[in-house]
Amino acid sequence: MTYITKPLVHHPALQKNALGLTRRDYEGTITTLCAGCGHDSITAAIIQAFWELSIPPHRVAKLSGIGCSSKTPAYFLREAHGFNGVHGRMPALVTGANAANGDIMYIGISGDGDSLSIGLGHLCHAIRRNVNVLYVLENNGVYGLTKGQFSASADPGSLSKKGEANTMSAIDGCLLALTLGATFVARSFSGDKAQLVPILKAGLAHRGFAFIDVISPCVTFNDHEGSTKSYAHTREKNVEVVQADFVLPTSAITTAYEPGSVSSVTLHDGSVVRLRKVDEDYNPIDRDIAYSYIRERQTAGEIVTGLLYLSPDSSDVHEQNNTVPTPLSQLAHDQLCPGSAELEKLQRGFR
């Protein structure tokens, strides 16, 4: 259970980062998710990313909505403030928190029900505002806590655990983000920590809304025959994806493989997803090319992953607002209140 605390005594030989902290210092409480849940792998990648970047945990605020994914902020960064809000509306909370104090780092954790159904409007507008947050959508195509209903990211024709076919089209978070003017769009896979960690780091470094759709299959409710999010389906279709190296937001994408080459990832249940890295025609700083490429590969049944789009000129909500550098929450009262003499003067206009 979440209130069980992990032992804080660690092996002395654990590797330390620039702050002298080990990965254990970036952990939270023990997970309560199903054994083998993809979300736990994402949590591990998040821990790794923060640790590698040597970010002081208490300088981070982690916010989430409601659902399996939204439980996970309890499982990392125990020294960071957490806010488990209401279903789908974390973008509003993080927008407000960021307005009050833009000096700390924000990570928002959400799911496909949270982000693509009940909170779709809030996600869209947080993207439009370009709020400075790393936004992780843990996408499993299904409502887990209520036991197996389709989510808005479920593919048409896919079957629920009870055998019902989904008749509606899917909302693709990455395509949506691209059309809304998102400044950082990535897709990754919970089983691919090597790909995910660099993307998370890039997202944290990005000033603006860093949207990462992470496919995270639900082992309990969406791993059956007929589901397009099941491991069996993935194995059968041999879905090819694009993998991007970790990049700093200011530098170009560098790759370890030849253009067009394919690598394979073995999932925890033994199934394989082959990942293909960015090909020569791809341009991650061209929104239209990114969009049509993802769409084209999607039609071909592939899932394209990697850091798909990065805007070279992102201006976040504070830059747009021209806010003072001191967090608004820390301004002294005399910097805010015009005082009695000014009130007297101002009221001459009310006569």
Partner 1 sequence: MSRTNEFAFKIATANGTGSASANGLIMQAIFRMGIPVTGKNVFPSNIQGLPTWYEIRVDKNGYTARTPHFDLMVALNPATYQKDGAEVRSGGWLMYDSTWPLDQKLVRPDVTYLGIPLAEMCNTTFNGARERILMKNIAYAGALAALLDMDTEIIRALLKEKYSRKQALMDSNQKAVDLGYTYAKTHFTCPLPIRLEAMDKTKDSILIDGNTASALGALYAGATVGAWYPITPATSLMEAFKSFCEKYRREPDTKKKRYAILQAEDEISAVGMVIGASWAGARAFTSTAGPGISLMNEFIGLAYYGEVPAVIFDVQRTGPSTGMPTRTQQGDLMMCAYASHGDTRHICLYPADPREAFETATIAFDLAERFQTPVFVLSDLDIGMNDWMIPKLTWDDSYRPDRGKVLTAEQLDELKTFHRYLDADGDGIAARTLPGVHPKGAYFTRGSGHNRYGGYTEDGEEYVDVLDRIDRKIQRAARAIPAPIIRTSPNTRIGLVTVGGCHSACTEALDLLAREGITLDYMRVRGFPFHDDVRKFLESHDLNFIVEQNRDGQLRSLLLLETGIAPAKLESVRYYAGFPLSAHHVITGVKAKLEKAA
Sites of contact with partner 1 (CB under 8 A): 1-3, 56-59, 61, 63, 73-74, 78-86, 89, 91-101, 103-104, 121-122, 124-125, 129, 317-318, 321-325, 327-331, 333, 335-340, 342-344, 346-347, 350-351
Nearest-approach distance from CB 237 to partner 1, in angstroms? 37
- Of 131 and 185, which has the nearer Cβ to partner 1? 131
Q: 223 to each of 115, 159, 188, 233, 330, how far by Cα in Å?
A: 21, 10, 19, 9, 49
Nearest-approach distance from CB 316 to partner 1, in angstroms? 12
**306, 212 contact by CB (below 8 A):** no
b or e along 323-334 (b: 16 or more beta carbons within 10 Å of the residue's beta carbon)? Answer: eeeebeeeeeee
- Of 59 and 162, which has the nearer Cβ to partner 1? 59
Nearest-approach distance from CB 322 to partner 1, in angstroms? 5
Return d(Cα 219, Cα 232) in angstroms, integer. 11
Q: Which helix (H) or strand (E) holds 125?
A: helix 120-129
- Of 3 and 299, which has the nearer Cβ to partner 1? 3
Return d(Cα 214, Cα 43) in angstroms, integer. 11
- Of 106 and 282, which has the nearer Cβ to partner 1? 106
DSSP 8-state assignment for residue 217 = -
Return the ∠ at Cα 140 (arms to 135 and 141), rounded to 5°: 110
- Of 141 and 208, which has the nearer Cβ to partner 1? 208
- Of 129 and 277, which has the nearer Cβ to partner 1? 129
3-class DSSP assignment, residue 4: coil
Q: Is 201 exposed, middle or buried (0-12, 13-18, 19+ CB in 10 A)?
A: buried
Return d(Cα 67, Cα 86) in angstroms, integer. 10
- Of 86 and 194, which has the nearer Cβ to partner 1? 86
For 300, other C-beta atoms within 10 Å of its C-beta total: 10
Return the ∠ at Cα 118 (arms to 109 and 162), rounded to 5°: 95
Our measurement of the distance from residue 157's CA atom to the centroid of its chain's CA atoms, rounded to an integer in Å, reads 27
For 35, other C-beta atoms within 10 Å of its C-beta total: 8
- Of 177 and 290, which has the nearer Cβ to partner 1? 177
Nearest-approach distance from CB 162 to partner 1, in angstroms? 28
